Structure formats: C-alpha cells, structure tokens
C-alpha cells in the first residue's frame, strides 16, 4: 500500500532540495569568487539561488497542504528510525516558506545596500546561503541529531555574518560575544541529545514521541532506565539552548550587540529568520514530542511554565530598556527581545489559541521587523551614524522610506489596521481564555512602551527639521521594492486577517498538536523495514 | 443577502447619526456646557450665559468660531497629517459607542474588551503625536510628558475597567465582552463580597480618567505656565476645534463606560420602560461628570514627578490588587 | 460574531467618521483660504515672544521620556542598589531565588498553565 498518492517528482523532492540547494551553492560561492572577480556575477548567483530556494519551499508547502498529513522524505532511501528523515508538517512548511521569502527579499535589498567597493561580498553570500540552509534544515528535519548539525550550520554562518565588517572593532567584539555564547548553546544542545539517545535509544522525533507514550516503534527497542530523568535533562538543556539561539530574556545579551553593529540586512535576517528556528524547535519539542505523555507530564508542564516566565521577563526587559536607548539599531534589538517574549509567552500557554498566536506573531514579527531594520539601514547609511541625535530630519529626504518605516513601527507596536495588532489580539484572547487577565495588562503596557521607542526613531529621523543637507537619501529601486512588498504584506496580513487566519494560520498551527499523525506517518515507513526484517 | 445589506446600512446609520457622529456632537456640546457651568459655580463665577438658554449654545458657538478661523501651519510643520490623525482619533472614539448598550444594534463578540481598550488608547496617542509633528520645543516636551503619564494612567484605567469585566465573566459568564459585561454588571452589586472590589476599581478608574482627560491635578502635559499649551501649542482653527472636540467626546465615552461597567447602567429599571432607562443613564452620566469637575475645581496641579509617583505608588497597585483579587476570587 | 469581525466593523465605522471629519477639515481650509492673510510672524515657531532659531528649538534625545523616569525612579533604584548590589554572591542568589519563587507563586495562584 502506498503511503502517499502519486506525486510529480518536483513535489516529492522540493522539500529536501531547498536546504541542499542552499548549502551546495554556499560551498560553491567561494569557488566562484576565486574564478570570477566580478561582484555582479556573485549578486546574480545568490539572487538566483535564493529565488530557486524560495520557489522550492513554496512547492513544498503546496505538497504538504495537498497531502493533508506530514510529509516524510527519506534521505538515501532509509526509513525513519534507521536513517535521517525530513518530516515536514504544515507548521514547518509555512515557517520555511516565510523564512525563504524573507531571505529572498533581503538578498535583493543587499545588492544595492552594500557599496560597490565593499570587501568580501563572496563571503557574505556564502554565509547567507549557509544560513538559509541551516534555517530550512532545522525547520524541516525530523531527527534530533540532524537538528544539532544544522543548528551548528546556522550558528557558524551567523557568527560570520555578524563579523562581516571586520575592520570595525565593535563588530569583532559583538561577533566574539555572539559566537562564544552561541557555541555554548550548541554544545549544551549536543549534551541534551546525548541524554535522549541514552535513555530512548533513538534520535528520530516520531520515534521519541512514540517511545515516550509507550507505543511500539520498530527496530530501536525498549527505553532504557527512567524515561522521566532522561527526558527532563533533555528538555531542560534544549530549552536553554533554544532560548539562547532566539535571544529570550535571561539569554538575550548576545543578540543586542550583534543586531546593533552588524549590517542592516544581517540584523534583519538574524532577528526575523534565525530566531524563529529557536521558537519552532521549542514548540515542536515541548508540544508535539512531549505534551500529553503521561510519563513526563510534570516535567513538560514545568518546561512550559519556564518558557512562559522567560517570555514575561523578556517582555518586561525588552519594553523598559527599549525606550532608554539612543541608538537606532539597539532600540530595534530590544524591540526584538520584546517580541520574542510575546512568542515565548504564547508557546508557554500551550493551548491551540496560544500556538496560533505564536505562529502568527512569528510571521508578523518577521515581516515587520525585517522592514524596520531595512528602513533604518537607509537612514543609517545616509546620515553616517546610528545615534538618534545625529540623524535629525534625514527621513524628510526619503519620504517613501519614511512612510514604510512608519508602517513597520505601527505594525510592530500593534496598531489596528496592521498585522502586529491581529496577532496580539489573538494572544490576548488566548491569555483571557486560560484566565490570565493580569498578563494582558503587561502586554498592553509593553505595547505602549514599545510605541514610545518607535516614536523616538520617527521623531528624530523624520519630524525634526533637518540641520544639514543630506543629499539623495531615497534608495534605488532595487532596495525600495523589497521594502514596499514587506509593507504591503504588513497591511494585507492585517486587513485580510480573518481570511488568512482561516486559510493558513489555523490549520498550520493545528498540526503542531497532531502528534498521532506525526507518529503514524513515520511508523508507516518504519513498518516496511519491519516486514523486511521479519522476512 | 438582504439581511447583510440591512446590517451594513444599520452600521452606517449608527455611525453617522445615533449613537454616532451627530448624537455625540450634541452630547459633547452639552457636556462641555455643563462642565463649564458647574466649574464656574464651584468657583463662584457665572459661567456661560450669553448664547442660548443659560448659555447652552456657547460651546457650539465656540466650535463654529474656531472652525471658520484660519488653519495656520508653521514652517517645517505639517498641514494635513495632524488633521488626518485627529480625524482618526474621533473615529476611534465613536467606534467605541457602537460596542456599548446605548446603540440599538451593538457590535460584540467574546473578548472584544481588548478592541475597546485599543480604541480608548488611540486618541491619547494621537494627541501625543501632534506635539511631535511640530518643530516647537513646547510641543515635543508636552508630548513626552503626556506619553510618560500615559504609561501610568492608561494602564491604571485599563486595569480598572478590566476588574468588572473579569468579575462579570467569572460569575455571570460575560465572556470578556464589553456589551455583555455592561448589561450584567448591575448584578455584581448584589453580591456583598464583590462590592469593595467594584468600589476600589471605580475610584481608580475615576482618578485615571481625570488624568486621561488632562484635567486639573494632572494637566501637566499642557501646563500653561510652563510649556504654553504643550502638544497643542502650534495648532489653530479647525485643528484646535478637533482637539477640543476630542476632549469632550473622550469625556463622554469614558464616563459612559464607567456608568455601564461600574454604576450598573440602567440598573433599577432593567425590565422597566425605555424612558426610565434613558433617564437613569443620563443621571448617572451627569453624576460622573460632576464628580470629575469637582475634583478639577478642588485641587491644584501636580509636578510631573509627583503625578507619576502618585499613579505608580497608589493608583496602579490599588487597581492591580482589585484585578488580581477578582481573578482569584 | 467573531472577534475579528468586531475589529472589522469598528474599523469600518472608524473609517466613515474619519472621512467625515477629514472632509470637514478640508472644507474649512477651503473656506478660510479666501480671507486669510500671509504674514511672516504667523508661521514662526512660537517661543513666548523670544526669537529662537530652528536649531535652538530642537530637543536632544536625552530630554525626552527618560529624564522623567530617571527622576522618579532614582530613589527606588538607589535603595535597591543598597540592598541588592552588596557584592556578596549569596545575596544575589537569595534575590534571584526570591524572584523565582514569586513568579512561580503568581502563576500557580492564577490557575497555572493548562497543558
């Protein structure tokens, strides 16, 4: 019996091809850079690859939608518990699509953002494509150890990206901080994997989910020793690693410097795309893998509580420290910490509405934060400083960019017609549903504070009269169009939210709770292996 | 389909006539006149007497006068943007009216209190944005004061109005809807355990509303001896008329919310005739306005740090206490 | 009726009133244009009769928002610093532990997280 209906080859392979294309071209990029010393060729190559990957993720999303159940891709033809597999449900596919889309726009923006005599652009593209591979791999994979590998790919490329302007001391300092703490996080995650492997004897996600629930899964055998202890250590360590990766409050220190000093494109990517991986994995592990299992119920509830409290701390820290900053990128960095807090809070609730809020806010934050980082990049480039006091009225020379910046700021602050409002509204609903009304106040307060922070940027950069002639500030079309697309998305996701909610967000968020389907599909593949063994 | 068209027409009609723009304008004129008259009598003055019966049309005359004055835009200022923001703020305030029981066809759904909260914060943010849109230092200073206060009093006001909503949800199943809570809130007064909570939150709501309206102890953002008129320094003509109108209608909407959520709305005549219900709501509304005017006449202005200290030290914790108790009880 | 529909309906009504008010503004500008006189003094920044340049009218970033906060919360911070920043590690652990306990208590008292 076939598990899936017959599909055209492109649909079958698209999900695996997306990260593979990215990583292969990332390794090809330095070679191209050695042979062809022409910036335009490099730009064209990176642009082509990111477009292809975006299309592939789109096809992958369509495949998963069409199948209506998680899509399992066997790498090398080995079935689940033995080989490494990609197991993609709608949640992952949607997130992958959004990530690839954002990266695509950032690549287009970056072509003109970096000066034509900028050093080391081939390395920038290498790192960027590597980051894309890491992000997509982490999101698509169905194997706990493969997550570690791609997590390392993601981390190492992001260290490189932060240190891109390597002639500046502050960039090196930020990169060192970023990489030291990041390396600690990946190592901690490696330890977590050893614990789960030691106690369950498997690294496959579906297998782990089945074993914890006491279900039978072929080949890997019975769990060893106390499940609760192994799973508890695994959970504790991986929550720590993922919150470091995402930059949630007690672990947020490394992201601040990194977002502050790195190029705007890099800051946008790290804030909007790389951080989502951490949240995705948190939701996947805490809810799909472990939630609802009787043996580890207490541990998982404690884990959710910790995530929720970290989210709260993140909200408070982010919003209060945001308004005292006087550096554009640092304000935006704290705003990222604040928004990570919302997502963590929503995941910590672990209700269907909470996950919907988390997913929607991840997408909305990705869109709006990318937009605001890119517009701020225009200001910083024109005025030559990141300090608010040095950029009086620079926005008046770039009316379109300023309008886009206002849209992004309002969207992030959660003002009604824009997208940020809708996801916050769902988050409020989720909080009131579990009777946590006082937390609503904290979110409203933090929204008001964050609006103050964005208003500071708008006041200094736009409404203050300019003190000097900045010349031509409005960026070329290649930089403007990605921003206009993002701004349009901010409005569409907000205005058309009832339909987008019904069509995309709710079904996608629902899949994170469908552990049965998640196990079942992998089991159907594993069963073939079992028949083979018996024969 | 016909039903959908009828509902749309109903919505437009409500927005424009009752309880929307036209009715709000009449109530705003009445409120301003009443407040001026009461304030004057408390200070042993006459108040408006000249236009209309006992000066009732004086606010209307003021509006007309301002409306036909020149709209002066100073250099490096913006002409259209502030006007549009002000128009949006008026729209937001009138949209809240549709969610209250005074409108014949109310818009409501579970959890819509959050939408109401957003609409309530909107005018304040608009007024703050006005100050930042002029190059005048008074404007920016006033706006920064206003926003600093906002963080304290909007939070306090929101916590205060959430308390009866949470209680109504937990005890009467109102599902965090502004409309349903307004209808059921009078039942809360029948339970002696809940009365202290309602009274505490009513008190904090009144004080934070006074701050929201930028009235006497809290008129720091437009302290005329220090920073001229704060955010409104450089605005004249129709924009000033809009600003004053926003002030009046903010008073109207917020007082009405207090009447419905805390004072029980139509309470003694829940089943009773329509005219009695209208009369009761009107009387309660006038009482709320009178109390606010009385506070204004009684006290002098705080310094900005005193105001923030007071709000954060007493009002916010007190209202938070009531909210937490009402969530747990 | 769903929550998002409420948002939509209130947005529609907000939009109608906004159009109305903005139309009124435009009408007023149109009417008053005929009898307004342009003078230089009218459009200068108002500064209580003083002559100030645009540069003098600018506010630095540090004069917005945070000054008031710093002023208000300074005593609180000073007293906290005396108690928390003692430089003894055990004190620090104590405060962190206390914060954790408070956070746990709040969440547990409020009904916890439904799994």
Residue A429 distance to chain C (closest CA, Å): 9
pTM above 0.95, yes or no: no
Residue C36 distance to chain A (closest CA, Å): 26
pLDDT digits (tens, 9 = 90+) for C27-73: 988 888 888 777 777 778 877 777 777 777 777 777 777 777 777 77
Which residue does chain C place closest to B100, by CA atoms?
Answer: C10
Which residue does chain B place closest to C32, by CA atoms?
Answer: B70
pLDDT digits (tens, 9 = 90+) for B112-124: 888 888 888 888 8
pLDDT digits (tens, 9 = 90+) for A223-253: 877 788 888 889 889 998 999 888 888 888 8
| Interhelix angle A477-495/A352-383, nearest 10 degrees | 150
Cα separation, B87 vs B90, in Å, equals 5
Residue B272 predicted with pLDDT over 60 = yes
pLDDT digits (tens, 9 = 90+) for A480-506: 999 999 999 999 998 888 888 888 999
Which residue does chain B place closest to A426, by CA atoms?
Answer: B111
Residue C30 distance to chain A (closest CA, Å): 26
Neighbours of chain B (3+ CB pairs under 8 A): A, C
Q: Which residues of C touch A349 (CB under 8 A)?
A: 113-114
Q: Note whether A305 contacts C104, CB cutoff 8 Å.
A: yes
- The domain tally of chain A equals 1
Question: ipTM score here?
Answer: 0.84
Residue B140 predicted with pLDDT over 90 = no
Q: What percent of chain A has pLDDT over 90?
A: 37
Per-domain boundaries in chain C: 1-58
Residue A433 forms part of a structural domain? yes
Q: Note whether C46 contacts B144, CB cutoff 8 Å.
A: no
Q: Which residue has the tokens 């609802």?
A: A292
A231-to-A522, A527, B316 alpha-carbon distances in Å: 21, 25, 42
Are residues B111 and C3 in contact, defined by beta-carbon separation less than 8 angstroms?
A: yes
Average pLDDT over residues A292-304: 82
Average pLDDT over residues B172-195: 85
Residue A365 predicted with pLDDT over 90 = yes
Residue A469 predicted with pLDDT over 90 = no
- Highest mean pLDDT: which range of A125-129, B1-5, B145-149, B234-238: A125-129
DSSP A147-200: HHHHHHHHHHHHHHHHTSSTTSHHHHHHHHHHHHHHHHHHHHHHHHHHHHHHHH
Residue C87 distance to chain B (closest CA, Å): 29
Substitution target in A392, A436, A437 with the highest count of B β-carbons within 10 Å is: A437
Q: Note whether A435 contacts B140, CB cutoff 8 Å.
A: no
Neighbours of chain A (3+ CB pairs under 8 A): B, C
Identify the band that residue A58 occupies on the pLDDT scale cut at 50, 70 and 90: very high
Domain with A98, as residue range(s), is 9-534
**What does pLDDT average to over chain A?**
88
Instruction: Report CA A239 to chain centroid distance, whole Å.
Output: 16
Q: Note whether C3 contacts A425, CB cutoff 8 Å.
A: yes
Q: Which residues of A touch C112 (CB under 8 A)?
A: 301, 305
Q: Note whether B327 contacts A435, CB cutoff 8 Å.
A: yes
Residue in A269, A283, A255, A278 with CA at minimum distance from that of residue A130? A269
C107 touches chain B (CB under 8 A): no
Cβ-nearest to A437 among B125, B154, B327: B327
Q: What percent of chain A has pLDDT over 70?
A: 99
Average pLDDT over residues B130-150: 84
pLDDT digits (tens, 9 = 90+) for A177-214: 899 989 999 999 999 999 989 888 888 999 889 888 88
Residue A423 distance to chain B (closest CA, Å): 12
Cβ-nearest to A438 among B133, B169, B324: B324
3-state secondary structure A423-448: HHHHHHHHHHHCCCHHHHHHHHHHHH
Substitution target in C14, C66, C106 with the highest count of B β-carbons within 10 Å is: C14
**What does pLDDT average to over chain B?**
86
- What's the longest Cα–Cα distance across chain A? 83
Which ranges in A459-514 belong to alpha helices (H)?
Answer: 477-495, 497-500, 506-511
Q: Note whether B145 contacts C68, CB cutoff 8 Å.
A: yes
Residue A415 distance to chain B (closest CA, Å): 8
pLDDT of A53 reads 94
Residue C60 distance to chain A (closest CA, Å): 6
Beta bridge pairs of residue A74: A85
Residue A1 predicted with pLDDT over 70 = no
Residue A535 predicted with pLDDT over 60 = no
Residue A3 forms part of a structural domain? no
Residue in A18, A141, A20 with CA at minimum distance from that of residue A87? A141
B241 touches chain A (CB under 8 A): no
Cβ-nearest to C54 among B20, B70, B76: B76
pLDDT of C72 reads 78
pLDDT of C115 reads 38
Residue A207 forms part of a structural domain? yes
Instruction: Report CA B282 to chain centroid distance, whole Å.
Output: 16
Residue in A182, A222, A320, A340 with CA at minimum distance from that of residue A271? A340
Residue A488 forms part of a structural domain? yes
pLDDT digits (tens, 9 = 90+) for C73-104: 788 888 877 777 777 888 878 888 888 888 67
Q: Which residues of A touch C114 (CB under 8 A)?
A: 349-351, 434
Q: Note whether B115 contacts A425, CB cutoff 8 Å.
A: yes
Q: Which residues of A touch C103 (CB under 8 A)?
A: 309, 312
Identify the band that residue A147 occupies on the pLDDT scale cut at 50, 70 and 90: very high
Residue A467 forms part of a structural domain? yes
| C37 vs A124, higher pLDDT | A124
Residue in A204, A155, A210, A162 with CA at minimum distance from that of residue A182? A155
Q: Note whether A435 contacts C64, CB cutoff 8 Å.
A: no
Substitution target in B88, B114, B123, B176 with the highest count of A β-carbons within 10 Å is: B114
Residue A501 forms part of a structural domain? yes
C107 touches chain A (CB under 8 A): yes
**Range in A136-150, B20-34, C22-36, C46-60 with the lowest mean pLDDT:** C46-60
Which residue does chain B place closest to A393, by CA atoms?
Answer: B76
pLDDT of C114 reads 43
pLDDT digits (tens, 9 = 90+) for A318-358: 888 888 888 899 999 999 999 999 999 999 988 999 999 99
Residue A350 distance to chain B (closest CA, Å): 19
Which residue does chain A place closest to B160, by CA atoms?
Answer: A441
Residue B224 predicted with pLDDT over 80 = no
Residue A161 forms part of a structural domain? yes
Q: Note whether C65 contacts B20, CB cutoff 8 Å.
A: no
C114 touches chain A (CB under 8 A): yes
Handedness of CA A255, A411, A316, A326 (dihedral sign): positive
Residue A271 predicted with pLDDT over 80 = yes
Q: Note whether A435 contacts C60, CB cutoff 8 Å.
A: no
Of chain C residues 6-45, which have a CB less than 8 A from chain B? 6-7, 9-22, 24-25, 28-29, 31-32, 35-36, 42-45
pLDDT digits (tens, 9 = 90+) for A14-36: 888 999 999 999 999 999 988 98
Neighbours of chain C (3+ CB pairs under 8 A): A, B
Q: Which residue has the tokens 């477009």?
A: A51
Q: Note whether B238 contacts C24, CB cutoff 8 Å.
A: yes
pLDDT of C31 reads 86
Cβ-nearest to B323 among A416, A437, A464: A437
Q: Note whether C68 contacts B88, CB cutoff 8 Å.
A: no
pLDDT of A186 reads 92
Q: Which residues of C touch A389 (CB under 8 A)?
A: 60-61
Q: Note whether C61 contacts A389, CB cutoff 8 Å.
A: yes
Instruction: Report CA A512 to chain centroid distance, whole Å.
Output: 16
For residues B249-263, b (16+ Cβ closer than 10 Å) or e, as one string?
A: bbbbbbbbbbbbbbb
Collapsing DSSP states into helix, strand and coil, what is residue A85?
A: strand
Q: Note whether A432 contacts B118, CB cutoff 8 Å.
A: no
pLDDT of A337 reads 92
- Highest mean pLDDT: which range of A275-284, B78-87, B179-188: A275-284
pLDDT of A386 reads 87
Cβ-nearest to B151 among A448, A455, A463: A448
Residue A174 forms part of a structural domain? yes
Task: Report CA dihedral (A222, A228, A231, A236) to the nearest 10 degrees.
Answer: -170
Substitution target in A315, A355, A464 with the highest count of C β-carbons within 10 Å is: A464
């Amino acid at each position: 019996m076939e598990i899936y209906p017959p599909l055209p080859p492109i649909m079958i392979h698209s999900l695996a091809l997306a990260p593979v294309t990215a990583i292969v071209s990332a390794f090809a990029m330095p070679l191209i850079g050695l042979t062809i010393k022409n910036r335009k060729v490099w730009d064209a190559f990176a642009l082509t690859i990111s477009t292809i990957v975006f299309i592939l993720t789109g096809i992958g999303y369509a495949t998963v939608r069409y199948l209506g159940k998680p899509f399992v891709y066997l790498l090398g033809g080995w079935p689940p518990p033995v080989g490494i597999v990609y197991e993609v449900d709608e949640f992952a596919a949607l997130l992958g699509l959004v990530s690839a889309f954002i990266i695509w726009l950032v690549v287009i923006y970056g072509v003109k953002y970096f000066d034509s005599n900028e050093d080391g652009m081939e390395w920038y593209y290498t790192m960027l494509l590597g980051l894309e591979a890491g992000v997509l791999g982490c999101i698509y994979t169905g194997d706990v150890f493969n997550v570690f590998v791609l997590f390392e790919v993601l981390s190492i490329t992001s260290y490189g990206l932060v240190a891109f302007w390597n002639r500046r001391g502050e960039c090196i300092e930020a990169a060192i901080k970023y990489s030291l703490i990041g390396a600690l996080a990946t190592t901690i995650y490696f330890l977590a994997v050893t614990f789960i492997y030691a106690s369950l004897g498997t690294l496959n996600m579906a297998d782990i989910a089945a074993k914890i629930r006491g279900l039978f899964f072929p080949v890997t055998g019975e769990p060893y020793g106390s499940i609760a202890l192994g799973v508890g250590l695994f959970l504790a360590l991986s929550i720590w690693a993922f919150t470091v990766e995402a930059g949630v409050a007690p672990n947020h220190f490394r992201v601040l410097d990194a977002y502050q000093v790195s190029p705007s494109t890099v800051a946008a990517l790290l804030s909007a795309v790389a951080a989502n991986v951490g949240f995705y994995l948190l939701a996947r592990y805490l809810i799909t893998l472990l939630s609802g299992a009787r043996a580890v119920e207490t541990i998982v509830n404690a884990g959710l509580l910790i995530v929720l409290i970290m989210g709260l701390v993140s909200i408070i820290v982010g919003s209060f420290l945001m308004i005292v900053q006087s550096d554009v990128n640092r304000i935006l960095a704290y705003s990222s910490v604040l928004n990570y807090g919302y997502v963590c809070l929503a995941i910590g609730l672990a209700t269907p509405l909470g996950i919907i809020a988390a997913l929607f806010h991840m997408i909305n934050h990705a869109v709006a934060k990318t937009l605001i980082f890119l517009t701020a990049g225009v200001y910083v480039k024109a005025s030559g400083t990141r300090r608010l006091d040095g950029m009086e009225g620079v926005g008046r020379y770039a009316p379109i960019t300023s309008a886009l910046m206002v849209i992004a700021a309002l969207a992030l602050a959660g003002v009604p017609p824009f997208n940020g409002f809708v996801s916050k509204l769902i988050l409020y609903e989720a909080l009131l549903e579990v009777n946590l009304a006082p937390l609503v106040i904290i979110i409203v307060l933090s929204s008001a504070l964050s609006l103050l922070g964005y208003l500071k940027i708008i006041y200094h950069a736009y409404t203050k009269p300019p003190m000097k002639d900045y010349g031509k500030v409005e960026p070329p079309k290649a930089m403007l169009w990605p921003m206009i697309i993002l701004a349009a998305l901010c409005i569409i996701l907000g205005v058309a939210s009832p339909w987008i909610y019904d069509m995309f967000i709710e079904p996608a968020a629902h899949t994170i709770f469908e552990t049965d389907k998640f196990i079942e599909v992998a089991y159907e593949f594993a069963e073939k292996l079992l028949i083979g063994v018996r024969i | 389909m016909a039903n959908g068209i009828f509902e749309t027409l109903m919505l437009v009609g409500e927005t424009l006539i009752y309880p929307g723009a036209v009715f709000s304008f009449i109530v705003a004129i009445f409120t301003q006149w009443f407040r001026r008259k009461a304030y004057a009598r408390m200070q042993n003055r006459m108040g408006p007497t000249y236009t209309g019966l006992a000066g009732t049309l004086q606010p209307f005359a003021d509006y007309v006068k301002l409306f036909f004055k020149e709209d002066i835009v100073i250099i490096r200022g913006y002409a259209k943007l502030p006007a549009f923001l002000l128009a949006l703020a008026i729209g937001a305030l009138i949209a809240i009216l549709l969610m209250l029981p005074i409108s014949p066809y109310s818009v409501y759904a579970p959890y819509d209190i959050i939408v109401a909260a957003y609409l309530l914060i909107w005018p304040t943010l608009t007024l703050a944005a006005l100050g930042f849109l002029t190059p005048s230092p008074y404007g920016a200073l006033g706006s920064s004061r206003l926003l600093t206060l906002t963080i304290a009093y909007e939070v306090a006001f929101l916590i205060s109005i959430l308390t009866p909503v949470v209680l109504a949800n937990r005890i009467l199943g109102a599902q965090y809807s502004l409309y349903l809570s307004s209808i059921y809130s009078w039942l809360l007064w029948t339970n002696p355990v809940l009365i202290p909570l309602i009274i505490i939150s009513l008190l904090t709501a009144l004080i934070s509303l006074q701050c929201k309206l930028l009235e006497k102890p809290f008129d720091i953002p437009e302290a005329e001896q220090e920073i001229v008129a704060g955010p409104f320094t450089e605005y004249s003509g129709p924009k000033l008329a809009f600003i004053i109108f926003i002030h009046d209608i903010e008073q109207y909407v917020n007082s009405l919310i207090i009447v419905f959520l805390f004072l029980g709305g139509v309470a003694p005549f829940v089943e009773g005739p329509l005219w009695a219900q209208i009369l009761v709501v009107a009387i309660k509304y006038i009482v709320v306005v009178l109390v606010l005017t009385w506070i204004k006449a009684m006290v002098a202005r705080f310094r900005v740090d005193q105001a923030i200290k007071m709000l954060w030290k007493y009002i916010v914790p007190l209202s938070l206490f009531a909210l937490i108790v009402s969530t747990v009880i | 009726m769903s929550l998002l529909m409420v948002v939509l309906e209130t947005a529609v009504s907000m939009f109608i009133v906004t159009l109305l008010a903005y139309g009124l503004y435009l009408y007023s500008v149109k009417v008053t244009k005929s009898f307004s006189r342009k003078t230089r003094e009218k459009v200068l920044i108002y500064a209580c009769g003083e002559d100030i340049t645009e540069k003098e009218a600018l506010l630095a970033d540090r004069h917005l928002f945070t000054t008031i906060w710093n002023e208000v919360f300074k005593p609180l911070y000073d007293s906290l610093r005396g108690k928390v920043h003692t430089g003894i590690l055990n004190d620090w652990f104590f405060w962190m532990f206390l914060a954790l306990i408070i956070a746990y208590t709040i969440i547990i008292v409020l009904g916890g997280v439904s799994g």
